[in-house]
Structure 1
Amino acid sequence: MVGENLLGIPETLLPEETEVIDRLGAGDEPADLAAKFPSSSLVWALLSDEAHAEGRIVESYAYARVGYHRGLDALRKAGWRGQGPVPWRHEPNRGFLRSLYALGRGAAAIGEVEEVERIGKFLNDSDPTAKAAIESN
């Protein structure tokens, strides 16, 4: 049973980032939004993806690292206690999950094997469907 919460730990659902989403939809650039909304994991994940696509691997890794840490801050603020589901189906969680994925991708690119394994487990523990969903986009 993929995605079943066997531990009974409640899901963590991050709050919506309405203004960030609206500004992205209006065509604002992630770099501009990062300066205005530095706590948004989504913005940092987008910057990581852009850098990765352009072959700027170290920058991609660094952006992902920021998004990951900003996401951890948001998760803790939302009641997360270091474990439990962070479901992909809840759209506001996707910025964190995308940053987590990008961090693993960046770690693999620079040969940081232990980090790749740790991040892969964390992503799977958060939501076993997230990796496939991210890779299908």
Structure 2
Amino acid sequence: MTSFGDLLGPPPTLLPGDDDAESDLLNGVEPSAVAAAHPSASIAWAHLAEASLDGALDGAEPDLARVVAAYAYARTGYHRGLDQLRRNGWKGFGPVPWSHEENRGFLRCVGSLARAAKAVGEEDEYLRCLDLLNDSDPVAIRELGLD
């Protein structure tokens, strides 16, 4: 049985993470430098996307330059995460648990992409991101404040 209670579903995909990128971020290295040095590390792109979104949606009108930058960062991390998921056995569906720390870079990128898409009025993309998060692990939506 998977951790999501589906006897016939695929097992959860657990990404290996990127120890060097994660260590750099924990030690205060600028996320743009981490992304440049470790471009396949979704966690670095998640940091960049979240930093771009921070405060960009607080006013009556979003700061579109920051929202578009966040969209690009999140989209990059999302695609790099999809590459990693596929290399680790994911077939385009199935659990990607939030509880597995190394999955969070990818899931955070999807959450940031959802926020940025909504801010620019791309409702279909916003809903696709929510569906992906829900299919990956419904806990992620709550943890990312998207519920």
Measure how far apart 1:45 and its partner are.
0.7
More relative contact order, 1 or 2 (CA 8 Å, 6+ apart): 1
Indicate if the aligned counterparts of 2:4 and 2:95 stay in contact, CA closer than 8 A: no
- Counterpart position of 2:93: 83
1:112-127 map, 5 Å? 112-127=122-137
> What residue ranges of structure 2 are gaps of 5+ in the alignment?
57-65
Match of 1:99 among 70, 93, 109: 109
Aligned length in residues: 134
Measure how far apart 1:54 and its partner are.
4.5
Structure 1 ranges of 4+ moved more than 4 A = none
Identity %: 49
TM-score (norm 2): 0.86
- Counterpart position of 1:25: 26
- Structure whose alpha-carbon radius of gyration is higher: 2
Letter of the 1:61 counterpart: Y
Measure how far apart 1:134 and its partner are.
2.3
TM-score (norm 1): 0.92
- Counterpart position of 1:4: 4
